[in-house]
Amino acid sequence: MIALQALRWGPPGQPLTPALDLQLPAGSLTAVIGANGSGKSSLLKVIAGLQKPLAGKVTLQVPRRGGLSFLPQQQYLDRQFPITLQELVAAGFWGSRQSAQQRAERLRQVLEDWCLGGLEQRPLMALSGGELQRALLARLSLGEAPLSLLDEPHAALDELGQALLWKHIHAWQQQGRTQIVVCHDLAAVRQHLPQALLIRTSGCVFGASRELIAAPLHTQVA
């Protein structure tokens, strides 16, 4: 599904880590962990094709149309953009061939799944951080991309929102989706994400999440 070959990324001429070689099979669920500024978000952008690598190659075995979904951090979203929550979520239908009736029913179901009922006509600027994050995740739910890249999906979520998040992530895995999740909550990584890529300036380490997180944090990210 995903093959990274001698991959290096970061600012021009300043790779953040030594070359990375990694293969992730279809249906895998992987965390990306590491210190702030280590290059976790940048790695997702390189895999998504939004940022060019400094060296190496990314190979994705997914359809060219609708094969990949990407959840960015909220800070990259213009909350002044004049659309409603429902319109934001419905953008997840891009490329869908469902009928209008099918879309309406599916949209209603997804809004209910993410506890967004009653907020459909609220503008983005009127949403709380947690409501906006659930709306972005609901938009992701509408797609059927076999590969999902999630950059801090737990950000701004309260206890209910986080429970919904992990419920859906596990459901997507059961559906066969491949998922890569940047996550700072190491307790959540231990509980929900079986394997992890630890990004360090000295070199990336891939393995079981519980083993990578077992050592003191300062020894992991140095």
* Sign (positive or negative) of CA dihedral 181, 139, 177, 51: negative
148 three-class SS: strand
The model's pLDDT over 139-190, given as tens digits with 9 standing for 90+, comes to: 999 988 999 999 999 999 999 999 999 999 999 999 999 999 999 999 999 9
Cα 47 to chain centroid distance, Å, stands at 11
CA dist list (Å): 185 to 34, 140, 169, 193: 11, 21, 15, 11
Least confident of 12-21, 107-116, 136-145, 213-222: 213-222
**CB neighbours of residue 193 within 10 Å:** 24
**Distance, CA of 52 to CA of 126 (rounded, Å):** 35
Residue 205 near residue 197, CB atoms below 8 Å: yes
Q: Assess whether pLDDT exceeds 60 at residue 221.
A: no
The model's pLDDT over 72-93, given as tens digits with 9 standing for 90+, comes to: 998 878 888 999 999 999 999 8
Residue 15 near residue 53, CB atoms below 8 Å: no
* Full strand arrangement of the beta sheet holding 2-8: 20-24, 2-8, 55-60
The model's pLDDT over 188-204, given as tens digits with 9 standing for 90+, comes to: 999 999 999 999 999 99
CA atoms within 13 A on the CB side of 204: 25
**Distance, CA of 172 to CA of 213 (rounded, Å):** 24
Q: Which residue has the tokens 């972005």?
A: 136
How many residues does this entry show for the chain? 222
Q: Assess whether pLDDT exceeds 80 at residue 218.
A: no
